[in-house]
Amino acid sequence: MQAKSTALKILDIVSVLLLAVALYLALLYAPEELQMGQVQRVFYFHVATAWTALLGFVAAGVTGIVYLVTKDPKWDIVEVSAVEISLVFFFITIVLGSIWARPIWNTWWTWDPRLTTAAVTELIYIAYFMLREGIEDPDRRARFGAVYTIIGSFSAPITFFAIRLFRTIHPVVIGSGDPSALGTFDMTSKMLVAFMFALFTFSIIFIDLFWNRIRMGYLASKVEQLKLNNMQ
């Protein structure tokens, strides 16, 4: 396999440094929220991981369309990589949200529209990998995967807009949400800096992981091709 390119190595290092700065801003720079206390700091990474994960799911749907048009296997590798990283990020989002909810809502989980749509999205993409595992033929697997991600990608905007469309207790920090939501707060300028920096950092981390995962995908497809050739 080809060695990591210099650009990727630099991106790896930059990602780690950005994460360290984002952590500093979230934990030390941003002021403590008066009503929720320290747990509000979870918000910075919770929203950032959610944002990148949902973008990744939409990107996977777009690459699914590109694959169906071009039939180029490289788009299948890109699609799987996007889904895998988004799945990890979205799982982190759900876990962080649940930890935040315990002291604020007095429960780890509730079947609120946002939480329910988030859980459904996560399950949809877990099922995507189960579907792929069940298909031996690479072309068929890629075709089914592409169609699945196109349909699945609709769950991302539904999850994103759930708190803006339905009556929910999940707070809307940016824009106006349901007045009955619990845990809403007004961001100070320092909080906004920490929040925007976290969004930027997680976008860079997503790109870095995406690149690394695509490299692994190419390697996996090469191994699979060699195995098929040896069997013939």
Partner 1 sequence: MFILDTPPDTSTYMIAGYSIFFILIILYLISLFIRTRNLNEDLSILESMKEQSQTATNRPAAAKPAASTGLAVKRKATRPKARKSNQVKKNVIKKK
Q: Applying CB under 8 A, which of residues 37, 69, 70, 140 lies at the interface with partner 1?
A: 37
Cα distance between residue 44 and residue 25, in whole Å: 9
Cα distance between residue 143 and residue 16, in whole Å: 36
Cα distance between residue 75 and residue 65, in whole Å: 9
Stretch that binds partner 1, among 65-73, 132-140, 141-149, 207-215 (CB under 8 A): 207-215
13 contributes a contact to partner 1 by CB under 8 A: no
Question: CB of residue 216 vs partner 1: minimum separation in angstroms?
Answer: 5
Residues 69-108 that bind partner 1 (CB under 8 A): 88, 91-92, 95-96, 99-100, 102-104
Question: The tokens of 52 are what?
Answer: 């990148």
Question: CB of residue 65 vs partner 1: minimum separation in angstroms?
Answer: 27
Q: Applying CB under 8 A, which of residues 35, 106, 176, 189 lies at the interface with partner 1?
A: 35
Bridge partners of residue 37, in order along the sequence: 33
Q: Applying CB under 8 A, which of residues 1, 7, 28, 130 lies at the interface with partner 1?
A: 1
Footprint of partner 1 on this chain (CB under 8 A)? 1, 23, 27, 32-42, 45-46, 49, 88, 91-92, 95-96, 99-100, 102-104, 182-183, 209, 212-213, 215-216, 219-220, 222-223, 226-227, 229-230
